[in-house]
Amino acid sequence: MIRRFHSLAGLAAGVIVALMAITGAVLSLQPVLDHLATPSSGSMSVAALAEAVSAQLPGVTRITHAASGAITAYYDAGAGELAASIDPATGNVLGATAPSPVFAFFTELHRSLFLNMNGRVASGLAALAITVLSVSGLVLLANRLGGWRKLFTTAKGTLSQRLHVELARMGVLGLIVSGASGIAMSLNSFGLLPGTDAPMTAFPSNVDGGTPAAISTLSALQGLDLSSLRELTFPYLGDVTDVFSVITANGQGYVDQGTGAWLSFTPNGLGQTIYETIYMLHTGQGLWWFGALLGLASLSVPALAITGGLIWWVRRRNQPRLVGNVPARHADTIILVGSEGNSTWGFATTLHAALTQAGHKVHAAAMNSLAASYPSARQILVLTATYGDGAAPASARNFAARLRHFTPVPGQRFAVLGFGDRSFAQFCHFAEETQQAMLDRGLKQLLTYESIDRQSAQSFAKWGNDLGAALGHELTLVHAPVVPVTSTLALLDRTDFGTEVQAPTAVLRFALPAGEVGLIDRLLGRTQALRFEPGDLVGIVPPGETIPRYYSLASSSRDDVLEICVRKVSGGVCSEFLHGLEPGQTISAFIKRNPDFRPQPGRAPVILIGAGTGIGPLAGFVDGNRRHQPYYLYFGGRDPASDFLYAPLWRAALADHRLAGLATAFSRVVGGRYVQDSVREDAANIRKLVASGAQILVCGGRDMAAGVRDSIDYCLAPAGETVTGLRAKGRYLEDVY
C-alpha cells in the first residue's frame, strides 16, 4: 500500500517537485555567496554604526541587517531610494548595491511559479509532496533493507534501484526538512499559521519632542549589539516628534531621538520565534552551511524522479499478461504468487502457460487474493519471493491472515517454490514460513519445498520436471526473460585442466569486441565499449537456445580480455558447447553486472574462499589487487597435479604481495580434504582476521558453500560472531551455483 501510494504520488507530482527542488538548490547558493561576500562583523553598537552611516549618507532612511551578516543602508539622494552596502566592522560605505536579478527570478519562480496566489498554492502542494514522498520513501527503504537498524546496509537490485536507494539515503533528511518547512511557510503566506505575525507595537505617545541628540549618544542604541539588529528606521528628517523604529532578533520597539530612551518594546511571541526558525531552516539564511547542505539534498530530487520513474516503468512492463486465466471456482490448478517487483510473476506466467497447454484449467492470482476455498482445485502451487529481512512481499502481505480462514478440499495438495538471493541472510525465509503454514493448515504436499537462487531459469526448469512427474505428465518450463543485446566474442586461447580426475575444466579467454567508445571512456583511458569487473556475470546463449547461462568473470575489461572458468557437465548444453570451442570460434554473450559480489576497498583484510571453477572471480580479485590490500585465499581442488587452477597467478601474487596468504586443500590425494576443512583448521587466523574487520567472499557450488558456512561459524563461535551476523553487516558474500 505504501509503495503504491509512493509511486502514484511521485508520478503525479514529479515535474513540479523536481522544479521546486532545482529552484531551491539555486536559491541555496544565495546565503553561501552572501557569506563569502560579507566582511566579518566587529563589536560595533547599533549607535556607532548608525552614526557612521548617517555621516556618509545624509539622506539615510533605514538600515537592514540580513541573517547572512550583510548590512544595507537605504537613502534618498533626491532621485528616489538608493541602496548601499555597509562594512559591518567599520560602518564605512562599500558601494552601491542592488538585488540580484537572477536570485529575484528564481525566488519568484520558487514561491509562485509567476502565477501569483495560485502559484503559491502549487508551491505549497509541492512542498507537501516532497515531505510525503520523503517519509514514505524512508519507510519503504527500511522495509526493503530489513528494518530501521539496517537502513545503511548495502542495497541490492538493478542499477536504477541501487541508485535510487543511495540518492534517497543521502538526501532524505534534508528533503524532509525542506518539505516540512516549506509547508509551514506556505501556510503562513495564507495566514493559516497562527501566532507567526511580527508583534504590532502602537506608536508611542510619550515622545520628548526636544532637540535630537547625536545618534552615537542614544543610550538605547548604544546598548544594542549589532548582531541582534534586524532593521533600524530613522526618524523623518526635521520632525522632532518622530522616533527611531527598531526591529531586533527578540522583538521590536521605539527609541526617542532626543533622550535616547526606549519608549516601548514588544518581545516576539513564541509563534514568531518558531516561524523565524522555520524560515532559517528553509532558506539557510543565517546558517549558510546548512543551506548548502539543503541545496545538495535538493539536487537529488530530479535524479530520484528519473530513477523512480524507471523503476515504475520496469515494474509495469513486467506485470503479468495471463492468457486463458479461468475463474478460480472452475480451476483444477491454482497458482498463487508472492512478488515485490513482479519478477516472480514472470515465472508464474510461464508455469501458467505450460500447465494450460498440458490440458489443465489454471487460475493465477496474488497470494493476497487467497479464497476461502477452491472446490475444483486438485493442487495449489505457490511461487513466492521474500522481501527484505525475511518479510512477505507486497502481493502476499495478507496471505497469513487469509490462510487462517482457508478450508482445504479433501485430497488437495500443494507445492511451494521460493525465489530469492542467497547473499541475503534470510534467503527465501517467507517461502519457508509459507510452506510450514500450509502444512499446519492441513494441506498435503505435492512436492517437497524447493527454492530458486537469483531467478535461475535452469533451476526453474528442473522444478518443472519434478512437478510434471508428480502430476503424471511431462512439463517443460522454458522461462526466457528478456535477453539483452549480445556481442560476438571470439575465443583467443584456452587452458585445460582436470581430465585425469574426470572433471574437465577449461579457462577460456575471449577477445573483446571492437565497438564505439565514448568521450568519457577515452578520457578515462578505456579502450573497450564492453565494461565489466571480476565477479560480474557473462550471459552466454548457446546456439539454438533462448535461455542464457551465466558464468562468473575472472577478468576486468581493463585487461582487454574476457575470461571464464568452466567445468564440463555431462549433458550440460552450454558447458559442452564451450568445451568444444577452438580458438577463433565465437560465442554470443552479454554482461550482467553483479556489484553485490565485490571486495570492499580499504586496508581491512579480505578472505577469499573458493573451490573448483568458483575460483574464477577470486582469481580476478587477486590479479587486480594493485593496492596490496591483505587478501587471504583458501582454494579447494581435486588433485594439484591436474586441476590446481591459476597456480602461476598465486605464485606471482604471493611474491608481489597481491596475495598475503594461500591455503590449499585437495580431495583426491592421500589424506584428502576439502576447502571447508582447510578453513576450519585455520580457525585462530580466521578469528583474528574477522576481528580486524575482514570481509569474507565465497564462490563455488552450493554444497561447498554450506560446508564453508558451517566452518566459519565453528571458527567464530569463541568470539561470539556468526555468518548470519557478518552477512547482515555486508561482510559475508556468496556467489553460489
Residue scoring higher pLDDT (443 or 204): 443
Residue 734 CA to residue 424 CA, distance in Å, equals 9
pLDDT above 60 (res 561): yes
CATH class of the domain at 487-592: mainly beta
Residue 687 CA to residue 650 CA, distance in Å, equals 23
Note the pLDDT tens digit of each residue in 369-420: 999 999 999 999 999 998 766 778 878 888 998 999 999 999 999 999 999 8
Note the pLDDT tens digit of each residue in 529-538: 588 999 999 9
Note the pLDDT tens digit of each residue in 17-52: 888 888 988 988 888 887 787 776 667 899 999 999
| Lowest-confidence segment of 271-275, 294-298, 599-603 by average pLDDT | 271-275
- In three-state secondary structure terms, 100 is coil
pLDDT above 60 (res 473): yes
Alpha-helix residue ranges (DSSP H) falling in 554-674: 573-579, 615-623, 647-655
CATH class of the domain at 319-471: alpha beta
pLDDT above 60 (res 238): yes
**Per-residue pLDDT, 523:** 39
- In three-state secondary structure terms, 391 is strand
Residue type, 534: P
| Lowest-confidence segment of 90-94, 482-486, 491-495, 717-721 by average pLDDT | 482-486
Section 78-99 average pLDDT: 88
Q: In the structure, what pLDDT confidence band is assigned to residue 307 with cuts at 50, 70 and 90?
A: confident
**Per-residue pLDDT, 575:** 92
Q: In the structure, what pLDDT confidence band is assigned to residue 7 with cuts at 50, 70 and 90?
A: low
Residue scoring higher pLDDT (412 or 149): 412
Residue 419 CA to residue 142 CA, distance in Å, equals 21
Domains in the chain: boundaries = 2-32+103-196+279-313, 44-88+199-267, 319-471, 487-592, 606-736
Residue 101: is it exposed, middle or buried by C-beta count within 10 angstroms (0-12/13-18/19+)? Answer: exposed
Could you tell me what percent of the chain has a pLDDT over 90? 50
Section 608-631 average pLDDT: 96
pLDDT above 50 (res 586): yes
Per-residue HEC secondary structure of 187-202 comes to HHHCCCCCCCCCCCCC
Note the pLDDT tens digit of each residue in 652-670: 999 999 999 999 999 989 8
Residue 304 CA to residue 325 CA, distance in Å, equals 37
Sequence-separated (6 or more) residues with CB below 8 Å from residue 264: 201, 202, 204, 253, 254
Decide whether 319-471 matches 487-592 in CATH topology.
no
Note the pLDDT tens digit of each residue in 255-293: 999 999 999 999 988 888 888 888 888 887 778 888 888
The grid coordinates listed for 601 are 576497498
Residue scoring higher pLDDT (193 or 606): 606
Note the pLDDT tens digit of each residue in 610-619: 999 999 999 9
Residue 320 CA to residue 305 CA, distance in Å, equals 25
Residue 142 CA to residue 136 CA, distance in Å, equals 10
DSSP E strand boundaries for 643-683? 661-666
pLDDT above 80 (res 8): no
**Would you state the CATH architecture of domain 606-736?**
3-Layer(aba) Sandwich (3.40)
**Per-residue pLDDT, 12:** 67
**Per-residue pLDDT, 157:** 64
Q: How far from chain centre, in Å, is Cα 626?
A: 29
Sequence-separated (6 or more) residues with CB below 8 Å from residue 466: 447, 450
Residue scoring higher pLDDT (99 or 519): 99
Residue scoring higher pLDDT (532 or 139): 532
**Per-residue pLDDT, 546:** 72
Q: What are phi and psi of 609, to 5 degrees?
A: -130, 120
Q: What are phi and psi of 607, to 5 degrees?
A: -105, 120
**Per-residue pLDDT, 525:** 42
Helix (H) or strand (E) holding 118: helix 116-145
What does each C-alpha distance from 83 to 74, 77, 561 come to in angstroms?
A: 4, 10, 67
Average pLDDT, the chain: 87
**Per-residue pLDDT, 217:** 94
What does each C-alpha distance from 366 to 344, 352, 362, 548, 576 come to in angstroms?
A: 11, 13, 14, 28, 39
Residue pair 587/581 in contact by the 8 Å Cβ criterion: yes
The distance between the two most distant Cα atoms of the chain, rounded to a whole number of Å, is 115
Section 663-692 average pLDDT: 95
pLDDT above 70 (res 527): no
**Per-residue pLDDT, 507:** 96
| Lowest-confidence segment of 337-346, 355-364, 571-580, 616-625 by average pLDDT | 337-346
